[in-house]
Amino acid sequence: MENKEWFEYDSFWENYAPIMFDESRWAEAPAVAEYVKELAQLKEGCSVLDAGCGPGRISVELAALGIDVTGVDIIQSELDAAAESAAAENVPLTLIKADLRTFRPKKQFDCAINLYTSFGYCDTIEEDQQILNNIASSLKNGGSFILECTSRETAILYFTEGEWFERAGITCLTEFSVVGAWEGLRSKWILIHKDGKRIEHEFVQRLYSAVELRQMFLKAGFSSVEIYGDFNKSPYDNHARTMVLVGRK
C-alpha cells in the first residue's frame, strides 16, 4: 500500500479543521477575497484556480464577487464542506478532487491562489517546485499567482515555543521547535475535548525565505514576482504580518 502524507488523510481534517478554520478565519474571508481581486486585477467573469481550497473559505467569497472559481483539494470532506458553503451562499463553484503535485487542468485561468500557509508540507523541495510548475502552467499569459504562507523570516520573527488556547469548545496545546538551520518548523498540536478525548498530531512545514521562493517562482516560469508583508501590499520587512508573493506570468 502506498504511504500517504499526513495531509492526505480525511481523519486529520475532520479533527483539526474546526480549529484551523474557526469563526475569525471565516470572518476575514470577504476582505481577503477583495484583496485577491485587487492584487490580481480581476474583473467579473475572470477565472480563478483556488489551489488547495479547503472548505471553500475564499472560493465562495470570490464566487460571490462574480468570479468563475475552480477549487482543487485532495480531501473529499473539505470539498464537500466547500460545496455546502457555496450552496448556502447560492454561488456557483467548480470543485475537483486532485493532488496539486500532479494536477494539470484542462483549461487555463486568469489567476491562481494558494493561501493560509498551505504550501511547504511535501517531503521534498522537488515536489514543492512541481506544484509551482503546475500552477504556472495552469495560468494564461498575463495571469497572476498569489501565494500566502509562513516564511522563514516570519517564523523567526514570531517564534514561540508553544501556547494554549480555547477554540471551538476544545482546549488546544501547541509546541513548536526549529528543524535544522531554520529549514523547517515542527508543530505539535494537542486537542483536548470536554469529554477528555485527547488527539495529538505532529508535522513539519518546510520554511522558505522570500528570496528562495521568488527564485522558485521564476524557475516555474513567472516573469516577475512581487513580495509583500500582507495582502494590502505593506512592505515585507521586520513588521511583516505574513508573506504574500504575487507572481506574474
The pLDDT value recorded for residue 6 is 67
The pLDDT value recorded for residue 184 is 98
Long-range contacts of 44-50 (CB under 8 A, 24+ apart): 46/110, 46/111, 47/107, 47/109, 47/110, 47/111, 48/109, 48/110, 48/111, 48/112, 48/113, 49/105, 49/109, 49/111, 49/112, 49/113, 49/135, 49/138, 49/139, 50/112, 50/113
- pLDDT per position as a tens digit, 44-88: 999 999 999 999 999 999 999 999 999 999 999 999 999 999 999
Provide the CA 192 distance to its chain's centre, in angstroms: 25
Q: Measured between alpha carbons, how far is 43 from 62 in angstroms, rounded to an integer?
A: 11
**Residue 1 pLDDT greater than 50, yes or no:** no
The residue among 53, 72, 54, 50 whose CA lies nearest residue 12 is 54
**Residue 94 pLDDT greater than 90, yes or no:** yes
The residue among 113, 133, 144, 116 whose CA lies nearest residue 218 is 133
More confident residue, 238 or 168: 238
User: Mean pLDDT over residues 143-154, rounded?
Assistant: 98
Would you call 98 helix, strand, or coil by DSSP?
coil
Return phi, psi of residue 64, to 5°: -65, -20
- pLDDT per position as a tens digit, 208-221: 999 999 999 999 99
The residue among 26, 9, 207 whose CA lies nearest residue 119 is 207
Q: Measured between alpha carbons, how far is 81 from 57 in angstroms, rounded to an integer?
A: 10
- pLDDT per position as a tens digit, 177-232: 999 999 999 999 999 999 999 999 999 999 999 999 999 999 999 999 999 999 99
Helices marked H in the chain: 10-20, 23-39, 57-64, 76-89, 125-137, 152-157, 210-220
User: Mean pLDDT over residues 161-168, rounded?
Assistant: 91
Q: Could you tell me if residue 56 is left (phi over 0), alpha (psi between -120 and 50 degrees) or otherwise beta?
A: left
Q: Are 206 and 183 a contacting pair, CB within 8 Å?
A: yes
Q: Measured between alpha carbons, how far is 213 from 211 in angstroms, rounded to an integer?
A: 5
pLDDT band at 2 (very low <50, low <70, confident <90, very high): low
The angle at the Cα of 178, spanning 176 to 180, to the nearest 5 degrees, equals 155
- pLDDT per position as a tens digit, 103-123: 999 999 999 999 999 999 999
The cell for 7 is 495531509
